[in-house]
Amino acid sequence: MSSSNTQPGAAARSGAAAGQHLVDHRRLGRDLELFTTSELVGAGLPLWLPKGSAVRDALAGYIVDLERRAGYAHVHTPALARPELYQRSGHLAHYRDDMFAPVGSGNEELVLRPMSCPHHALVFAARGRSWRELPLRIAELATLYRDERSGVVGGLSRVRAMTLNDGHIFCAPEQLSDEIAAAVDLIENAYAVLGITEYGYRLSLRGEGGKYVPDDSMWERAESQLREVLDRRGATYEQAQGEAAFYGPKLDVQVQDHRGREETLSTVQVDFHLPVALGLHYAGRDGVAATPVVVHRGVVSTMERMVAHLIEIHAGAFPVWLAPVQVAVLPVAEEHDRYARGVARHLLSAGLRAEVDAGERTVAARVRTAVASKVPYVAVVGDRETRDGLFGLRLRDGRRWGPSDVSALTALVARVAGDRSAGLLPDEVSASARVVKR
């Protein structure tokens, strides 16, 4: 696997060799109360706790906003469909092993979808389309179900019910390479904001056997389009036979987990098959009906796999905008509770995530808990703070900022979160003398 290989000729080196020591997200997920599992629910079916859900919702909000700005239209489609849809799309012939058995409802059978592409194709086909509407970019945070073997599921990274940051671009053949490149740009932008620096590209090609739709010329065209985009960027990439989707080759973004095992995070896939299988058409410039090409892409993967990876690379110390609790407010004694709650309410009403820890334990013990939970900012309020209305923040990295009034502190945290900055203080504040090392 190569590292940050957007640079031409970047040396192939593994994330582990580059010095990344990742922590098992399952352990951190439990310790930080992000998610849990229950035998009563089943293997590969994690329950997101409030703190994990806060991280996930921040991620989802970010990616939906990024897509909207990139010209995507978001839809909502059901996680069920009649088997006939998956018969026609080819999933039942080529992807059945990964699908749950149909569920009955009276005398009608329905399948839990393993992918949302057929549904999005029907969004395309909701009415006649013209070449003027292309590329039509349809996106959804799509809930999918895959019957992964219970032996291979674990934590959040491989699950059986998942929500994919999914999107399908319906375009004319001559728009294909620009759309692939734009999807790769979105991935690189998102990785920069999420703090993902160790990754490599993989061109996933078909292998032997009947897993793949036949039609050699289609596979060759799709593969050469992906190669052209990678080459144009000067990116290095690995190739893997037998890792394609059944409908076409993929440009996969590979990362490593805490065990050094490689997994696919983002993906961009070229598909000439689905539009034919579902009879998609648009009126071409010359008035003649033409068949679109589909680009399938997942920018930040499934919420499950991406949050697992973010937990591991940040060791639970998420950037402020993703942190489940952004500010912990600790009253020194009972008489400071009211004031502390007012501070938290002020932060909450500014859209921030704040929590009051007014437990029995000493302030020092509660500070230690907040630090162990990787909370970016801790505000301790005692006599002086309550009297003057001025207080300081202890930063996760050991620095301090303040004292200042609640409005200024709220504005500071809101700005760091709103900018989705990697750091804990805006640059010009960070440089100021009011920041002292502990």
Using CB under 6 A as the criterion, which residues of the chain lie in contact with ligand TSB when the complex forms? 115, 117, 146, 148, 158-159, 162, 164, 166, 168, 264-265, 267, 296-298, 301-302, 304-305
Cβ-based nearer residue to Zn ion, 268 or 375: 268
Tokens 């219970």 sit at which residue?
150
Type of residue found at 127: R
- Residue 76 beta carbon to ligand TSB: minimum distance, rounded to whole angstroms: 16
Query: Would the CA dihedral through 223, 224, 230, 236 be positive or negative?
Result: positive
Pick from Zn ion, ligand TSB, none: which does 135 bind, CB < 5 to 8 A by kind? none
Tokens of 430: 């960070």
Cβ-based nearer residue to ligand TSB, 233 or 296: 296
- Residue 391 beta carbon to ligand TSB: minimum distance, rounded to whole angstroms: 42
CA angle 124, 139, 82 (to 5 degrees): 60
Instruction: Tell me the residue number closest to ligand TSB, measured at CB.
Output: 296
Q: Is 387 left (phi over 0), alpha (psi -120 to 50) or beta?
A: alpha
- Residue 99 beta carbon to Zn ion: minimum distance, rounded to whole angstroms: 14
Say how many C-beta atoms besides its own lie within 10 A of residue 36's C-beta.
13
Tokens of 320: 């402020």
Exposed, middle or buried: residue 382 (CB in 10 Å: 0-12, 13-18, 19+)?
middle
Pick from ligand TSB, Zn ion, none: which does 301 bind, CB < 5 to 8 A by kind? ligand TSB
Query: Would the CA dihedral through 38, 41, 46, 51 be positive or negative?
Result: negative
Pick from Zn ion, ligand TSB, none: which does 267 bind, CB < 5 to 8 A by kind? ligand TSB
Cβ-based nearer residue to Zn ion, 117 or 169: 117
* Residues at the site binding Zn ion, with contacts judged by CB under 5 A: 117, 296
- Residue 265 beta carbon to ligand TSB: minimum distance, rounded to whole angstroms: 5
- Residue 139 beta carbon to ligand TSB: minimum distance, rounded to whole angstroms: 10
Q: What does the buried/exposed string (b/e) look like for 63-97 if buried means 16 or more CB atoms within 10 Å of the residue's CB?
A: bbebbeebebeeeebebebeeebbebbbbbebbee
Cβ-based nearer residue to ligand TSB, 258 or 297: 297
Cβ-based nearer residue to Zn ion, 119 or 158: 119
- Residue 291 beta carbon to Zn ion: minimum distance, rounded to whole angstroms: 17
The rounded distance, in Å, linking the Cα atoms of 124 and 140 is: 14
Pick from Zn ion, ligand TSB, none: which does 158 bind, CB < 5 to 8 A by kind? ligand TSB
Cβ-based nearer residue to ligand TSB, 228 or 243: 243
